[in-house]
Structure formats: structure tokens, C-alpha cells
Structure 1
Amino acid sequence: MPVDELDTRILRLLLEQPRTSVREYARVLGIARGTLQARLERLERDGVITGTAPVLSPAALGHPVLAFVHIEVTQGHLDDVGG
């Protein structure tokens, strides 16, 4: 289902004020809480909203660098990569 103007307003508000309650979002948007809840559920079901978990800072947790590296090496060329 395509994202309409109200969905866009909801998504913008979620990004700008991520820790606000559903009740407050509904008030700010001027819509019923049930309408907002139904929209949020549809956006999640459709994969537009993929999560609500906090984003942690590895640096603040004592891990200043985090990296994932994937290397594919053609058989017989390992010395070229490590050398």
C-alpha cells in the first residue's frame, strides 16, 4: 500500500520526536489515537517501519571502533591477500 500524506506526517513526527507517546502523537497530528495506532500497525506490517529499538553508541560503551569485514579469496590466492 502506498504511503499517503498522513503516513508521511506520522513518519516525520516519529523521526523528529522518537520518544513521544502514541497519545501525544495523535494529539499533535489532530487524529484519533485508534487511527494512529492502525496506521502504525500497517506501516510496520508493510515493512515501512522496521523497528523501534534504541540505537546504541558503541563508543559510549567503550568500543570506539566496530567493523565487519567480509573477504572472498579465490582458491590459491590467499598469499596475495595476506601479504
Structure 2
Amino acid sequence: MEVDQSDRRLLALIQDDCRQSYAELAKQCGLSPSTVHDRLKRLQARGIIKAQVAILDPIALGLDICAFVQITLSHPKTVAGFLDKVVKLPEVQECHHVTGDFDYLLKIRASNALALERTITDKIKTIEGVIRSHTAIALSSAKDTPAVDCGRTSQDQS
């Protein structure tokens, strides 16, 4: 079943604030509360809604450093072990397999430069297969959001 415009509107609204009641969502979408409930359950069952979570402010929690670490692995046979270890590190917020000169891009949050150094040196570089890393520290972030565009899809634009 396709995601229609009503679903997209609901997704945008709950992405902005998932604490809204079905009645509040229904009013904003022109639907009944029971229809909102059914649609959200269906979107959850399909895996489109992965979770409803609180988004925390890392700076307020003392995680002042945001770094992007590019990783090169020695051989494809080391990928599974690398991923198994890196996804378990709480400092690593994101792990992406990327194109280009490096194999993976990690987003890491740390309290300070020393904590970042320890994470990279003691936890990441010690993983079997890691042969090179390159780190860039974000000085500031003009946009940092987990939100996705619920509007038009690439199929809609053709």
C-alpha cells in the first residue's frame, strides 16, 4: 500500500512532535481520531515509523565535540567484525558505508578532545582491519536534525 498525502502529513506532524494526541493530529489533517490511529498503526507495522523517541541536546548533556571520522579497512573480510564492534560504541551516533577514498563515515559525540582521542585511538583504531582514519571536528552546525522530508518523493518529481 502506497504512502498517500494524508500519511505524509501525519508523518510530518508526528516527526515534529510525537506527543500530540490522535484528536490533535486528526484536527490538523482533517481526519477522524480513529482513522489517525489506524493509519499510524499501519505505518508502524510497515516499518515506516521506526520508533518514537526523545531527541536530546548533546551540548546540554556535556557532549560538546561533534566529529566525523572516515575509516579505511584493510580487507572486505574485516567489515563484519568492524561493524559488530562500532555499532556497539555509544559515542558513535551514525555509521555509514560510503564511496570514495574511505570505506566508512562515523559521526561521534564526545565531551572533549581527550575523550574523542580516546574513542578513536583506544576503541576504533584497535578494531581489526582499521588501517587509516581521518577526523574532522565540527566547529558549529547550522543544521543538525534527524527529520526526513515527508513531502514529495523522487517518484513524485518525475
Greater strand content: 2
Q: Which runs of 5+ in 1 are unaligned?
A: none
The residue that corresponds to 2:9 in the other structure is: 9
State how far apart, in whole Å, the 2-side matches of 1:41 and 1:18 are. Answer: 13
TM (normalized to structure 2)?
0.41
Q: Aligned partner of 1:26: which letter?
A: A
2:33 aligns with 33
Unaligned runs of 5+ in 2: 66-90, 92-107, 109-118, 133-158
Q: Which has more radius of gyration?
A: 1
Residues paired across the two proteins, number: 76
Deviation string, structure 1 residues 18-40 (Cα, Å, up to 9, x no partner): 44222111112121111000000
> What is the letter of the counterpart of residue 12 of structure 2?
R
Between the aligned residues of both structures, percent identity stands at 33
Higher helix share: 1
* Structure 1 residues 48-82: Cα deviation after superposition (integer angstroms, max 9, x where no partner): 111111111221111212527655527xxx7xx5x
TM-score in terms of structure 1 length: 0.71
Match of 1:23 in 2: 23
Query: How far apart are residue 15 of structure 1 and its match?
Result: 2.9
1:73 aligns with 2:117: no
Q: Following the alignment from structure 1 to structure 2, what is the Cα–Cα distance between the partners of residues 14 and 43?
A: 12
User: Helix, strand or coil: the match of 2:42?
Assistant: helix
Higher relative contact order (CA 8 A, sep 6+): 2
- The separation in 1 between residues aligned to 2:29 and 2:61, in whole angstroms, is 36
Q: Which aligned runs of 4 or more in structure 1 are off by greater than 4 angstroms?
A: 68-72
